[in-house]
Structure formats: structure tokens, C-alpha cells
């Protein structure tokens, strides 16, 4: 049985951000790849915001239809590989939390997009890539950090 590579990529859930997903898939030698797309949104302490707003509700708000269709296109393009893409929201940029999150999710690689400007979709947004850069030196060597080139250098068209 082939080992699964689990890759964490900061995302703003836009079609442009999926460039880094595609690039990671193409660069990986693994037959089976799990990709975790994470958005940074500091948890609110407001009772009205905490009541009844779960992860699924937040993701539904943050992920436009165009993003979900582009994800489907990626699945089709790489249907010869075992591929899983799922989304999550990090509620804090606390370094200890990030270390435990990476370990708990069994992440093998962290992709840090270089010079990518994330779209702030929520009031409590924080840049996950910046937070991960700060903890990189505290992360065990079993997790590799890779910086990917700017999206400006990519070829035209995300999905063919």
C-alpha cells in the first residue's frame, strides 16, 4: 500500500489560490495525496457569533461556487492519482496550536506561497502563511516546508 503524502496549503478559497494545489500535485511523487487548504479566521468571543455557526457553515460562506467547480476540475485532471482535497479554518495563529495542528493532522509538507496576496473574506482574518513562517523553526524535521513561486509566474489557465 502506497504511503499518503499530506500537504497543508494556506488558502483564501479563491480559484487563483488553487494554482498552488495543482503545482503541489504535479511536484509530488506520491501516488496518494491529501491536501488540506486552511483559511485563518481568529475565533470570535462574541456570543452571537459563537451560537450555531459551525465549521461547515463558515466554509459554505467562504467557498464560492467557482472555487468548488475548480476543485472538481482538479479532481478530473488528476483522476489517475488518489487525491483528496479538504478545507479547514484555523481559529488562531498561536504557535503551540499550529505545531499541534500540524502533528495532529499528520502533515508531511507545508507549502508557503511566495508573494501571494490573500483575500480577506472575514473581519477576523489572519495570514496563515505568515503564522506558519514564524513557527517553521519549531516544527519537527519530519515536516518539510516548501516555498512555491509567485502566482504571477504561472502559465495561463488553471484548468484545461
Contact 108, 9 (CB under 8 A): no
pLDDT of 55: 80
Residue 27 CA, distance from chain mean position: 16
pLDDT of 154: 47
Contact 9, 24 (CB under 8 A): yes
Per-position b or e across 52-69, b if 16+ CB within 10 A of its CB = eeeeeebbeebbeeebee
Rounded average pLDDT per 10-residue block, the chain, 160 residues? 86 95 93 96 66 79 95 93 94 93 94 89 92 85 78 47
Predicted TM-score (pTM) above 0.75: yes
- Residue 143's SS3 state is coil
Task: Give residue limits of the domains in the chain.
Answer: 4-153
Best CA proximity match to 58, nearest among 72, 74, 44: 44
Best CA proximity match to 7, nearest among 102, 118, 129, 138: 102
CATH architecture of 4-153: 3-Layer(aba) Sandwich (3.40)
Amino acid at each position: 500500500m502506497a504511503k499518503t503524502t499530506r500537504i497543508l496549503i494556506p488558502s483564501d478559497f479563491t480559484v487563483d489560490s488553487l494554482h498552488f494545489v495543482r503545482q503541489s500535485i504535479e511536484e509530488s511523487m506520491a501516488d496518494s495525496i491529501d491536501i488540506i487548504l486552511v483559511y485563518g479566521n481568529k475565533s470570535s468571543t462574541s456570543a452571537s457569533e459563537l451560537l450555531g455557526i459551525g465549521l461547515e457553515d463558515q466554509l459554505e460562506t467562504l467557498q464560492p461556487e467557482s472555487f468548488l467547480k475548480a476543485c472538481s476540475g482538479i479532481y478530473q485532471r488528476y483522476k489517475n492519482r488518489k487525491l483528496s482535497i479538504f478545507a479547514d479554518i484555523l481559529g488562531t495563529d498561536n504557535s503551540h496550536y499550529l505545531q499541534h495542528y500540524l502533528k495532529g493532522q499528520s502533515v508531511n509538507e507545508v507549502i508557503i506561497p511566495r508573494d501571494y496576496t490573500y483575500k480577506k473574506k472575514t473581519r477576523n482574518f489572519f495570514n496563515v502563511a505568515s503564522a506558519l513562517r514564524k513557527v517553521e523553526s519549531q516544527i519537527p524535521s519530519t515536516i518539510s516546508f516548501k516555498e512555491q513561486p509567485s502566482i504571477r509566474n504561472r502559465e495561463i489557465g488553471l484548468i484545461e
